[in-house]
Structure 1
């Protein structure tokens, strides 16, 4: 049993100190994963890895987790949702949310941010993949949104690295085909 699983079990049994220990143990790992994810984000983004981890931690709240894999899967989902929500807010701002009306001849119009479109396409395709094959969708979340390596994701999902590699290859092809078909 990993230390994280042991601490999660202790929290469920009411050990108040276990929550602090869990935070100390997973915080650095979550921050490292968030940093890896943020390194792939578009230049000029304002979200920092520390902020992403803090917001994800707050969303995880007091819900019970069965084990390390369940915890990191929930963290990956929380980070994914945070990034999607931020992209939607940014896109809404680009499309006139809370905008004042001015003469279009007086302003320069910026090109749409392609990264947000990519993020939405992946988000929608990932939801479809989750219906088709939940484990492969979880693997994508851990790799794409959290930045885990194949080996780390395999450990979290409690599968072998070769199985994770096959699932990753399948998921990438499946997502590519789904996104390509959606774009026309």
Structure 2
């Protein structure tokens, strides 16, 4: 069954995953590409004012997709609360800001799709902040799915290390199988065009 065209906002659309998601979804839908400095629109997800300004400008959408968010990598022994707060403000609260604000700009039966990663289940060296943030995002999505009104759905994509960046990070992910960004993008499509909510879609593990 062919999907009716949707208006979809993709935050992080210039990144490796985000660009793959935009390529897949733009085949059938209207896509608004959003980045920190590139794209159709710009946003700083660490700023509530910036997130509010983005949605006020773009108006109602059918789906919000996030493929963005930074975390802190470093040894636990020297980590400070300021280091740890980087991931909390960016990948965790940044995506939660998108969901909390964006829910009011979604059409009925719209959807939100966020991103975490394998480190929530498989910790790696210097990845304490990333593991915490990813696990917290999973909890948020499961709980938010129980309360979102008007048939709005929310899911999370959790990929393993990307094939496109596996060589650069192989010392941190020894023995991990990688997955292509195009495969991860199909999981986003499943979330956006599907019917499920509160799901954690793992990709490559």
Larger % of helix: which?
1
TM-score (norm. length: structure 1): 0.30
TM-score (norm. length: structure 2): 0.28
Q: Which protein has the larger Cα radius of gyration, Structure 1 or Structure 2?
A: 1
